[in-house]
Amino acid sequence: MTALTRVADAAAEPSALLVAFASMDGDMVDQHFGSAQAFYLYAVDADSAELIAAQRFAQEKMDGNEDKLKPKLAWLVGADVVYCASIGGSASRQLLALGVNPVKVSGGPDVDELIAALQAQLNGTPEFWLANILKSKRMDTSASRFAAMDEEGWDG
């Protein structure tokens, strides 16, 4: 597992989903986004999931202070999805603006169970929100492929 300045620096397959979980110990999603003390980042595809990074943050109060979101938002740049036990409207909007899809889950589900549910969707018919992420990732990949071809001097 590597230390990352931000999720976008993660070395993962372009087709893999970069999924963060707000968790105290990495086993279950048990943290409110704004006061989360840690995020665990996995590269997830239809057949595998690998823990690739974890990031700890200072303990914060749930007081509505938006400044405490900045380090979390900065670290999550490049993630596709973030699971948390609770999240406010402002944090949700800021994540969506960064291209990160927040997913609120209750009851402290196990990270392994959430990954298995994601993989089931990847192997079947994904829900609308996940289908949009996958479509966006495919467009990003083909756009970068064409940019690379242009840099190599390809002529059409």
Instruction: Write the DSSP assignment of 4-57 as a string of letters.
Output: -SSGGG----TTSEEEEEE-SSSSB---BTTT-SEEEEEEE-SS-EEEEEEEE-
Amino acid at 114: L
At the fourth CATH level, which superfamily is domain 7-127? Dinitrogenase iron-molybdenum cofactor biosynthesis domain (3.30.420.130)
Separation CA 8–CA 24 (nearest Å): 22
What predicted TM-score, i.e. pTM, was given to this entire model? Answer: 0.85
How many CB atoms are closer than 10 A to CB 24?
14
* Residues 6 or more apart in contact with residue 97 via CB below 8 angstroms: none
* Residues 6 or more apart in contact with residue 37 via CB below 8 angstroms: 24, 31, 56, 57, 58, 59, 60
Task: From 10, 75, 62, select the one nearest 31 (Cα to Cα).
Answer: 62
pLDDT tens across 95-124, in order? 999 999 999 999 889 999 999 999 999 999
Q: What is the pLDDT of residue 145?
A: 44
Q: What number is the average pLDDT over the span 58-79?
A: 80
151 CA to centre of own chain: 30
pLDDT tens across 130-147, in order? 999 999 888 865 544 444
Separation CA 153–CA 137 (nearest Å): 25
Residue 93 φ then ψ, to 5°:
-60, -40
Mean pLDDT score across all residues of the chain: 87
For the chain, how big is the Rg over CA atoms in Å?
16
Q: What is the pLDDT of residue 141?
A: 55
